[in-house]
Amino acid sequence: MSTPERKLNASCIKSYDLVVIGAGSGGVRAARIAASHGATTLLAEESRIGGTCVIRGCVPKKLLVYASRMGMEFEDGRGFGWSFQEREFNWGALMGNVANELTRLERAYETTLRSAGVQIANSRAELLGAGRVKLSANGQIISAKHILIATGARPVADESLPGWEFCATSDDVFEWTTQPRRVLVQGAGYIALELACLLVRLGSEVTVVCRSSHILRGFDEDLRVCLQAELSTAGIQFVTQQTLAGVTHVTGGLSAELSDGHRVEVDAVIRAVGRRPNVQGLGLEVASVGTDERGAIAVDEMFQSTAPGIYAVGDVANSIHLTPLAIRDGHAFAQAVFGAGPRPSRLGLVPSAVFTTPELGTVGFSEAEAVRQFGTVEVFIARFRSMKSVLSGRAGKCFFKLVVHGGDGRLLGAHLIGPEAAEMIQLLGIAITAGARKADLDATLAVHPTLAEELVTMRSPTRRYGMSEAA
Ligand SMILES: Cc1cc2nc3c(=O)[nH]c(=O)nc-3n(C[C@H](O)[C@H](O)[C@H](O)COP(=O)(O)OP(=O)(O)OC[C@H]3O[C@@H](n4cnc5c(N)ncnc54)[C@H](O)[C@@H]3O)c2cc1C
């Protein structure tokens, strides 16, 4: 938002207790909490308030996911007695409504920040050294007792790929004014799959090209295999163990060349092959702020970088790239430096979701990690058709897996694929964080008829590791 009224009033900016660089999830929370503790706080943002989550991440993505599921509801309705005339989906109308919602959220964030006493600089900021920051918009130099870097991450833009300039990133997708008919997505991480899935559900033909044999590297193996099968059923064409070799402009679209020489004609190529910490031109060297091997700002458990008085939270720091972690760390930083309350630990259990359709929810140890770490492990698996899909005739099954400590029965992990898996994993995350055991699930009365009741009715282990059969 290029609002002249957000331009700095140069005369009122001199010295602050805290300068936060980046108004995304982590920066906004840190600035607000610091100001609420009485710290004079300046928040510098070079783009839009809200950052990746609000403007080009979680929020627009989830709104598009909702849209992508509505067509399925129409189709499923036939088995429940509904009939429809023509259905029509209008990408432009959807994107217009999404844009309005993002603007509303951006304004709401800004209002909340200003009410808390945070000053906002609509400007890029760079470090000049210990306790000093330069605002690019007006060249002003600010001094600060503490500086928090919360500049997030950006899509990897590998310019060595021939034709990279014809490719889109996730950022661009949220700016598209028309929906491409044929799309190639490079990558098999959660962002690649969410975009691929929402586009296929909205009617695009989608090909996903990935280097590995299965999607979602690092997730539980069963989740990887099951979700790939479900998404294939949904219409995504997977080309595995291949990479993108180049993209050329051809009449009527783009031609994507794969590493085996095959060509795929599409209207758009999305590259979603990872995200890099946003540190370019930030002045890290000048300020002696060290980075790790991934280029992320190295911080300790107090979010302190290698330079005294300079801290980092969120995607730019050596953290997992998820909004709740950026928020929690931003809050914890401000609380620790300006408040008095206890600080939550940096990592701990991280429940997360992949908003494909079907959804995936995961928390805790994968089966393989649990066996490596604990040796004795029991695994409970349920695969079943949902009640709704019986009448709708929709193919696909839900997959629920519980990973349990073979000795004390502690729940070590839970991995779900199915409708509302994200909602379910949030609640299971509470139970697992509280130290729940499998016996606690067994003792919980089922809510019937639900999908989640399967979680409390899994009786016999599907697999056991490091335990005698009699155990
Ligand atoms: C497509 C997509 C979907 C996602 N979906 C989810 C999801 O479903 N759930 C989830 O938990 N997470 C999701 N994420 C990740 C989540 O958005 C990020 O982890 C989170 O936004 C990180 O917050 P942050 O504060 O670290 O950085 P950001 O939110 O990226 O904010 C950084 C801000 O700093 C600004 N900035 C950068 N450099 C400067 C500078 N020098 N001066 C001034 N300003 C600067 C940027 O413009 C930006 O506004 C998604 C990400 C993407 C890309």
- What is the spatial distance between Cα 329 and Cα 20, in angstroms, rounded to a whole number? 13
Angle between helices 190-201 and 221-233 (to 10 degrees): 20
Q: Count the domains in the chain.
A: 3
Rounded distance from Cα 153 to ligand 1 centre (Å): 6
Band of pLDDT at residue 307, cut at 50, 70 and 90: very high
- Residues 112 and 226 occupy one common structural domain: no
Report the helix count and the strand count for the chain, using DSSP H and E. 12, 22
| C-alpha torsion angle, residues 96, 102, 105, 110 (rounded to 10) | -120
Give the Cβ contact number of residue 116 at 10 Å. 15
In Å, how far are 65, 172, 367, 419, 452 from 458, measured between CA atoms? Answer: 30, 44, 16, 19, 11
Q: Is the dihedral of CA 196, 88, 65, 76 positive or negative?
A: negative
Mean predicted confidence (pLDDT) in 441-456? 98
Beta strands, E only, 74-159:
119-121, 125-129, 132-135, 141-149, 153-155
pLDDT confidence of residue 5: 40
- Residues 328 and 208 occupy one common structural domain: no
pTM higher than 0.75 for the full model?
yes
Q: Pick the most confident of 85-89, 394-398, 406-410.
A: 406-410
- What is the spatial distance between Cα 5 and Cα 113, in angstroms, rounded to a whole number? 15
pLDDT tens, position by position, 89-124: 999 999 999 999 999 999 999 999 999 999 999 999
Beta bridge partners of 258: 244
Assign residue 418 a region (left: φ > 0; alpha: ψ between -120 and 50; beta: otherwise).
left
Going by CA atoms, what residue is nearest to atom 37 of ligand 1? 151
Q: What is the CATH number of the domain that holds 453?
A: 3.30.390.30
% of residues, the chain, pLDDT over 90: 91
pLDDT tens, position by position, 22-75: 999 999 999 999 999 999 999 999 999 999 999 999 999 999 999 999 999 999
Is 261 inside a domain boundary?
A: yes
Rounded distance from Cα 255 to ligand 1 centre (Å): 31
Instruction: Tell me which of 315, 338, 361 is where a domain ends.
Output: 338
Nearest CA to 94 out of 158, 149, 174 is that of 174
Cβ atoms of residues 384 and 397 within 8 Å: yes
- What is the spatial distance between Cα 63 and Cα 98, in angstroms, rounded to a whole number? 7
The kind and range of the H/E element at 396 are: none
Beta bridge partners of 403: 379, 413
Going by CA atoms, what residue is nearest to atom 1 of ligand 1? 57
Whether the link from the prior residue into 358 is cis, omega within 30° of 0, is: yes
Residues with catalytic function: 448
Kindly tell me if the per-residue pLDDT of 86 is higher than 90: no
Q: Over the chain, what is the mean pLDDT?
A: 94
Going by CA atoms, what residue is nearest to atom 8 of ligand 1? 58
Domain that holds residue 249: 164-273
Is 73 inside a domain boundary?
A: no
- Residues 258 and 293 occupy one common structural domain: no
Instruction: Tell me which of 257, 273, 289 is where a domain ends.
Output: 273
Kindly tell me if the per-residue pLDDT of 413 is higher than 90: yes
In Å, how far are 280, 322, 454 from 28, measured between CA atoms? Answer: 21, 15, 39
Which residue's structure tokens are 């994968």?
Answer: 366
Band of pLDDT at residue 78, cut at 50, 70 and 90: very high
Is 245 inside a domain boundary?
A: yes
- Residues 296 and 202 occupy one common structural domain: no
In Å, how far are 6, 177, 202, 250, 458 from 180, measured between CA atoms? Answer: 36, 9, 10, 15, 44
Contacts of 4 (CB under 8 A, 6+ apart): none
Q: Which of 49, 109, 151, 199 to mutate to test the pocket of ligand 1 (most atoms within 8 A of CB)?
A: 151
Q: Which amino acid is at 364?
A: G
Is 321 inside a domain boundary?
A: yes
Q: Verify whether ligand 1 is closer than 6 Å to residue 364 (CB atom).
A: no
